[in-house]
Amino acid sequence: MFHVIERLAEELRRARRVTVLTGAGVSAASGVPTFRGAGGLWGSFRAEDLATPEAFARDPRLVWEWYEWRRAKIASCEPNAAHEVLARWTIESPHHTVITQNVDDLHVRAGTQRLVRLHGSIWELTCWNDCGAPRWRDERVPLPAQPATCTSCGGLARPAVVWFGESLSSDDVNAALAACSCDVFMTIGTSALVYPAAGLVQHATAKGAFTAEINLEVTPASSAVDLAIQGNAELILPEIAAHLLKRV
């Protein structure tokens, strides 16, 4: 393990522009339940049957009950060492970018700068009727109205997250693609299965980046990157950070 961590640290030491793509594995150590791992009542529901516009149109109260459960779970979580290392890198260099598939905003709470949130935020809401009101942030748990209502028109509000069958924000996709023009591109805690995020590693490779993966298990991206490390991000990233502090 030491030699692969030292190798990645050396690449990062030489790099001017670094981009990191994160997934659920980064937040697992903080206690954030996985998207498909809800227990109790929610164990009888598939996420794909709840996180859709069709499900919300059919039963907005049920969908909001699920999101309120998730919000309450996430509210009790704190950023872990992986979030803290990545946040520090973005603070120390304007050329370090984090792209995340997570909606928990633990990167935000850790202080990450220039964060690209591909799938939105569970703490933000938007009008279901698209009345034109800008999305707003509300971290109250639980929300006062069930289901939540729009602060502008009073109609239904929905979580400002990207649901199955919906397109990602073009601004976020463009920001992610632009960040692929980097010296080192790392994918951390994600299976790299969901597009367009899954294609970012290939895009970075085509741009000439050194690519690396940190994940508990081998993923479809493992064979496509220059360096694959199996392990916990909250343990490996602090090790890498410690190596970076050493004088060459």
Strand order through the sheet with 96-100: 116-117, 96-100, 18-22, 184-188, 210-215, 227-230
- Is a pLDDT exceeding 90 seen at residue 47? no
- Is a pLDDT exceeding 60 seen at residue 41? no
Give residue 111's pLDDT: 98
Distance separating alpha carbons of residues 79 and 82, to the nearest angstrom: 8
- Is a pLDDT exceeding 70 seen at residue 109? yes
On the CB side of 93, how many CA atoms lie within 13 Å of its CA? Answer: 14
Q: What integer is the mean pLDDT of 83-92?
A: 98
- Is a pLDDT exceeding 70 seen at residue 182? yes
- pLDDT-derived band of residue 196, with 50, 70 and 90 as boundaries? confident
User: 245, 132, 185: which is closest to 21 by C-alpha?
Assistant: 185
Q: What integer is the mean pLDDT of 184-196?
A: 85
**Per residue in 153-179, pLDDT tens?**
999 999 999 999 999 999 999 999 999
47 alpha-carbon distance from chain centroid: 17
3 catalytic, yes or no?
no
* Active-site entry in 107, 119, 203, 243: 119
Which CATH code of 3.30.2000.10, 3.30.1600.10, 3.40.710.10, 2.60.40.10 fits the domain covering 40-76+126-161? 3.30.1600.10
- Is a pLDDT exceeding 80 seen at residue 40? no
Give residue 3's pLDDT: 87
Give residue 89's pLDDT: 98
Give residue 87's pLDDT: 98
* Structural domain spans, the chain: 2-32+78-119+168-245, 40-76+126-161
Give residue 247's pLDDT: 55
- Is a pLDDT exceeding 90 seen at residue 233? yes
Q: What would the CATH number be for the domain defined by 2-32+78-119+168-245?
A: 3.40.50.1220
CA distance to 54, 59, 68, 190, 199, per residue, from 157 (Å):
15, 13, 13, 29, 32
Its pTM stands at 0.94
Q: What integer is the mean pLDDT of 209-213?
A: 97
